[in-house]
Chain A
């Protein structure tokens, strides 16, 4: 049950686009298409921002988008805004009833 691999930090200037990768294996991300992504501000509970790989829940900005290629899922934030500064986590089913999160990525808006 190894955590999915995410970069520890990603930064960008306001208005720019950034991409956060989430790399797993053929046993988790590669086998199941439906990675989800969560945003977490300090001291707050996580918030769902992408479900089923690329779908945005109601109320989530269309600046957030998700995709997947082989064993790597990606979250792209376009038009970066100050409010996007937070921690981001991916999550995937890993088989055998087990779920796994990524280690988390801290996004800094310069």
Chain B
């Protein structure tokens, strides 16, 4: 069965870095685009970033552009989110999600359980 397991969250000081991982299993990881979505405490879902199935295209929300980098290692079935220059408003649960669709349409059919990132001094 499809499984997505995030890891790497924790408490980090403002300005520092953190790398999240999302280990995928139960499907052909290299055949699917993948997204990161976050949810601040008590708030709604916020789209963060997307990476094409082969890593050829990446797009970011304005709120993280220039600070976060999405990447993947298809040989390890793993998605990553490198987060630099972290700010307090990056505090959130970060979910990875499998994407079904094309360039301008689609949906998330599987989600991980999320990993909590807290940015605080």
Query: Which residues does A use to contact B, with CB under 8 Å?
Result: 1, 3, 32-34, 36, 38, 40, 45-48, 51-52, 57, 87, 89, 91, 93, 95-104
Contacts and interface: CB of A to CB of B under 8 A. Distances in A.
Give the interface SS of chain B, mostly helix, strand, loop or mixed: strand
Contacts of B108: 36, 38, 46, 48, 91
A46 B95 contact: yes
Contacts of B107: 34, 36, 48, 51-52, 91
Contacts of A57: 109
B47 to A, nearest CB: 4
B45 A32 contact: no
B106 A34 contact: yes
A90 to B, nearest CB: 10
Interface of B: 35, 37, 44-47, 50, 57, 59, 61-63, 95, 100-101, 104-109, 111-114
B111 A46 contact: yes
Given A93-B104, A99-B35, A3 B109 contact: no
B44 A89 contact: yes
A24 to B, nearest CB: 13
Given A1-B63, A91-B45, A95-B104, 12 more contacts: A34-B105, A45-B95, A45-B114, A46-B108, A51-B109, A89-B44, A93-B105, A97-B50, A97-B59, A98-B61, A101-B44, A101-B46
B95 A38 contact: no
Given A1-B62, A52-B107, A97-B50, A89 B113 contact: no
B75 to A, nearest CB: 25
A18 B96 CA distance: 30
Contacts of A97: 50, 57, 59
A2 to B, nearest CB: 10
Contacts of B104: 32, 93, 95
Contact of B44 (A48, A96, A103): A103
Contacts of A36: 106-108
